[in-house]
A and B are shown apart, each in its own frame.
Chain A
Amino acid sequence: KQEVTQIPAALSVPEGENLVLNCSFTDSAIYNLQWFRQDPGKGLTSLLLIQSSQREQTSGRLNASLDKSSGRSTLYIAASQPGDSATYLCAAENLSGTYKYIFGTGTRLKVLA
């Protein structure tokens, strides 16, 4: 059974710092790995989707990498801003024959001005 873990659960950094959020998964048989952002009281917004054949995806200050062999994905945020404060979740879509996403519990990020 796929399990997705995100460590740390919470992180505070000063503005301008580069940071890395970690996501690990136990079953490498995945279609893709997605990173989402969730603001308090809101739904999830997709940030980056990495298909299983890809190694990384970039969007602006965000870069996500995928290493299926080690069961790891990282989300790199460059030059962090207070507006980046949110909870970041990763989700793995399994190759199990049904389209099921397994989510991690998220990393709550606070960027201090």
Chain B
Amino acid sequence: DAGITQSPRYKITETGRQVTLMCHQTWSHSYMFWYRQDLGHGLRLIYYSAAADITDKGEVPDGYVVSRSKTENFPLTLESATRSQTSVYFCASSELAGGQETQYFGPGTRLLVL
């Protein structure tokens, strides 16, 4: 199906474990983004990518790693999960940036770190 998908949709892990959240889009959009959503903070940008092999930090990048070897995939890795990383994670994509096109969001991954 066309669109943007995230996997897993739900994940429970333990402190210190490595976790990878997957994001896949079928539009060949250039830009991809990772956000986390927490009560009281709204959505905050973790990392974004303007194209394959080009990534940059957002507002809250610490503890996260991203890669973009293919245009359609943008995985987010928590290298050593902490309880403060319990959150809902959203992936998004857009063809253009700089005011010209909206972002399309995936359904989210709910992550609980025990």
Q: Which residues of A does B touch, CB under 8 Å?
A: 4, 31-32, 34, 36, 41-46, 49, 51-52, 89, 91, 93, 98-101, 103-106
Contacts and interface: CB of A to CB of B under 8 A. Distances in A.
Contacts of A45: 105
B106 A46 contact: no
Interface residues of B, number: 28
Contacts of B92: 44
A98 B102 contact: no
Nearest to B43: A103
B107 interface: yes
Interface stretch (B14-22, B68-76, B93-101): B93-101
Query: Which of A52, A101, A103, A106 has the most CB atoms of chain B within a 10 A radius of its CB?
Result: A101
Contact of A105 (B35, B41, B59, B102): B41
A93 B104 contact: no
Contact of B108 (A4, A34, A43, A103): A43
B42 A89 contact: yes
A100 B45 contact: yes
B40 A99 contact: no
Given A43-B108, A46-B104, A100-B58, A93 B43 contact: no
Contacts of B56: 98
15 contacts: A4-B42, A31-B97, A42-B107, A43-B108, A44-B43, A44-B92, A44-B105, A52-B99, A91-B43, A93-B97, A99-B97, A99-B98, A100-B59, A101-B45, A103-B35
A99 B50 contact: yes
Contacts of A91: 43
A105 B99 contact: no
A37 B88 CA distance: 16
Interface string B55-99: 010110000000000000000000000000000001010000111
B42 A32 contact: no
B104 to A, nearest CB: 7
Contacts of B50: 99
A32 B35 CA distance: 19
